[in-house]
Amino acid sequence: MASKKISRAPRLVSRATALLMQGILKNEYPEATCSLDFGNPLQLLVSTILSAQCTDARVNKVTPALFARYASARDFANAKITELENLIRSTGFYHNKAKNIKEACRVICIEFGGKVPGSMEDLLKLPGVARKTANIVLYNAHGKNEGIAIDTHNIRLSQRLGWTKNRRQNGIERDLMATFPKEEWGLVSNLLVFHGRAKCTAKNPKCPSCPLGKICPSAKQFS
């Protein structure tokens, strides 16, 4: 009986190699921006909450009708919860998502004059908002780099590429913040999302055609 191949954690690469990898990804994905469709910070906040355990493509199918119905934080805060749930049902976990959106918008109206706050400290006061969501909103809506959004793609890729051995989101974020220049933090997150979809998929990653194949410590595992 053939022995089962055991996947080992890849070695860590040097900071110089990690920066080289990032440069290659920048050339490969010049269009690497947030893949959620939004027109203002509130729409991005709501879309990011909806994207938990759901694809961005699915969220983008739901939000046009949602944003046509609710145009402001006050609209969401005053929404009938069952109506809100019905509009977002296909994104999954819609009870909690509707509750968090409604409550976050209530806090925005009471404490921030109806405007999505522009600091990590204030965003973390909103129900349903943790560092990942806050980082996405800060970079993509406010142009601020206060951290690196760590989602499913980024957890998988940062480990495969040898950028971290951490398995917890906060630890991964700290390692990546120490590796990459602050002005690149938001872009690093978007690049990993794009690469995770295009090449470094969860199953059967496309290592032979990957632009990082010659320097990625995981390439031989999947070749």
% of the chain residues with pLDDT over 90:
90
Domain segments of the chain: what residues?
Answer: 15-28+148-222, 41-142
pLDDT tens digits for range 111-132: 999 999 999 999 999 999 999 9
- Own/partner contacts of 166-172, CB < 8 Å, gap of 24 or more, are 169/131, 169/132, 170/131
pLDDT exceeds cutoff 80 at 222: no
pLDDT band at 9 (very low <50, low <70, confident <90, very high): low
- Say what the pTM is: 0.90
CB of 128 closer than 8 Å to CB of 104: yes
How many residues in the chain?
Answer: 223
CATH of domain 15-28+148-222: 1.10.1670.10
Calculate the CA 204 to chain-centre distance: 22
CB of 88 closer than 8 Å to CB of 128: no
Q: How far apart are CA 119 and CA 96, in angstroms?
A: 24
Burial class (CB in 10 A: 0-12, 13-18, 19+), 11: exposed
pLDDT tens digits for range 155-195: 999 999 999 999 899 999 999 999 999 999 999 999 999 99
Query: How far is CA 171 from each of CA 2, 103, 150, 159, rounded to the nearest angstrom?
Result: 37, 29, 10, 12
CATH of domain 41-142: 1.10.340.30
